[in-house]
Amino acid sequence: MKITIGHLYPDLLNLYGDRGNIQCMMKRCLWRGIDAETIEFRLGDSIDFSDLDIVLLGGGSDREQMLVCSELKKIQESFHSYVEDGGSVLAVCGGYQLLGHYYKTEEGTIEGLSLVDLYTEQGSPRLIDNIVLENPQFSLPIVGFENHGGRTYIGSNRPFGKVLYGKGNNGEDGTEGVLYKNVVGTYLHGPLLPKNPHICDYLLSNALGRKYGTSDLSPLDDTQEKEANQYIFHRFVKQQP
Ligand code: GLN
């Protein structure tokens, strides 16, 4: 079995080392004897989505998002078919905003891919903090860090999680991120998957299920990851007695 990960525009969308999430996916595959490969795509490269099992769109500054915006129009149709066909996507922060219809800033409106029915508007102040989510679909809380000016509104879509601590999509409605088909959109930056191995395995098992019809992943020893996850949960949500 083999998983191929497409990393879109790593030179522009890689704020706070979002690419570390790819290393996490690759490692958790290799530890299980599943081959894993990453292909990087830069502006101007053509992308054949039929080669890909997971796509990563990382975070970027408003300026960098503006730069990739026109490139996205060229791949919109094939990216859309990939998503509708159950292709897995992890889109973080600036990449998450680009999944939607638009991101409206003071400098202008950045057009998105319209892959998911959501939109984003710049607000003030920036929302910067640790963040903890819960989603009964997952066995552990989701922990991370957020840093964004945009406020995202997901309408009737399913959120990635309910905010237990932090601000989330817009600081108002208690939601964070979005789940649509096999797409995960989230504001959680940096080491999202190392901190949340259950989310990494969710992406991997969806990708394997689509490709091979089997999504069973052999268990790994996540004792340390789970302890770290619980530590953050208790620090910000449930104070230790
Ligand atoms: N530029 C976007 C914002 O500030 C996304 C930033 C990011 O990816 N951290 O909302």
Report DSSP state, residue 159.
P
Judge residue 147's burial from the number of C-beta atoms within 10 Å of its C-beta, 0-12 exposed, 13-18 middle, 19 or more buried.
Answer: middle
Atom of ligand 1 nearest to the CA of 65: 1
> Would you list the domain boundaries of the chain?
2-236
d(CA 207, CA 32): 15
Cα-to-centroid distance, 151 and ligand 1 (Å): 10
Q: Within a 13 Å sphere around the CA of 77, how many CA atoms are in the beta-carbon half?
A: 2
Cα-to-centroid distance, 241 and ligand 1 (Å): 36
Per-residue model confidence (pLDDT) at position 239: 73
Per-residue model confidence (pLDDT) at position 16: 80
Cis peptide before 219 (omega within 30 of 0): no
Low-confidence ranges of the chain (pLDDT < 70): 240-241
Contacts of residue 226, Cβ cutoff 8 Å, sequence gap at least 6: 140, 197
Instruction: Write down the CATH superfamily of domain 2-236.
Output: Class I glutamine amidotransferase (GATase) domain (3.40.50.880)
Contacts of residue 169, Cβ cutoff 8 Å, sequence gap at least 6: 151, 152, 153, 154, 159, 175, 176, 177, 187
Per-residue model confidence (pLDDT) at position 120: 98
Residue among 97, 104, 131 to mutate when testing ligand 1 (max atoms within 8 A of CB):
97
Pairing of strands 175-176, 142-153: unpaired
d(CA 131, CA 161): 11
Residue among 14, 16, 65 to mutate when testing ligand 1 (max atoms within 8 A of CB):
65
| 160 within 8 A of 196, measured Cβ to Cβ | no
Atom of ligand 1 nearest to the CA of 62: 1
Q: What share of the chain in percent tops pLDDT 70? A: 99
Cα-to-centroid distance, 104 and ligand 1 (Å): 12
Q: Could you give the residue numbers annotated as active site? A: 93, 189
Cis peptide before 125 (omega within 30 of 0): yes
Whole-prediction pTM value?
0.96
Handedness of CA 204, 128, 66, 153 (dihedral sign): positive
Per-residue model confidence (pLDDT) at position 241: 55
d(CA 98, CA 95): 5
| 6 within 8 A of 55, measured Cβ to Cβ | yes
| 115 within 8 A of 147, measured Cβ to Cβ | no
Tokens representing residue 170 in the block:
């817009």
Per-residue model confidence (pLDDT) at position 17: 82
Tokens representing residue 154 in the block:
């997901």
Q: 3-state class of 131 per DSSP?
A: strand
Which value, in Å, is the radius of gyration of the alpha carbons in the chain?
17
